[in-house]
Amino acid sequence: MMNTQDLFARNRVILTHFDSYSTALLFPRWNNNTLLWPEALPASATPMPAPTTIGPMHVANTVKQAVVERCGLNPDELEHVGEFNHWAQTESGPVRIHLLRFTTLDAPKAAIEALGGEFKPISLLRGSAMSELLLLREVFNLIVGTGGQ
């Protein structure tokens, strides 16, 4: 069985919360330097198309479960957004970027703060890596563009 360190060498996660009432879309910034959990992609990473075969280390449910276990989150309050399918090529191989969306009424700010993150709207994330902001723009278009569904 793969440990979470190995798993997260091949996967990154964007967490988000969308409040359909106020149309607030929030993302955690981790330790004031990355928008990806548990760490930023290497600087040399480049976008790539999804591979034709997805290996077991990139399976969405496995990654979601690892995030839940490592972060102490409630699995019933997170959903994997399958329509978000982004990959990056790194020197050590492909990395899948997953989108997990909180389904709670309010963003779980205390839980994210306990992990070193702070929820912010995309407009307050300027100064983050451009590659990460482009991924958040894709999330924004996916969630807000479909009316939050």
Q: pLDDT tens, 37-76?
A: 999 999 999 999 999 988 888 999 999 999 999 999 999 9
- 137 pLDDT tier (thresholds 50, 70, 90): very high
The per-residue pLDDT for 57 is 87
The per-residue pLDDT for 145 is 81
pTM: 0.93
Q: What separation in angstroms does the CA of 93 have from each of 10, 41, 59, 69, 85? A: 8, 12, 16, 25, 17
Longest dimension (CA), the chain: 43
Q: Each residue of 73-116: pLDDT tens digit?
A: 999 999 999 999 999 999 999 999 999 999 999 999 999 999 99
Q: What separation in angstroms does the CA of 73 have from each of 5, 15, 115? A: 18, 12, 11
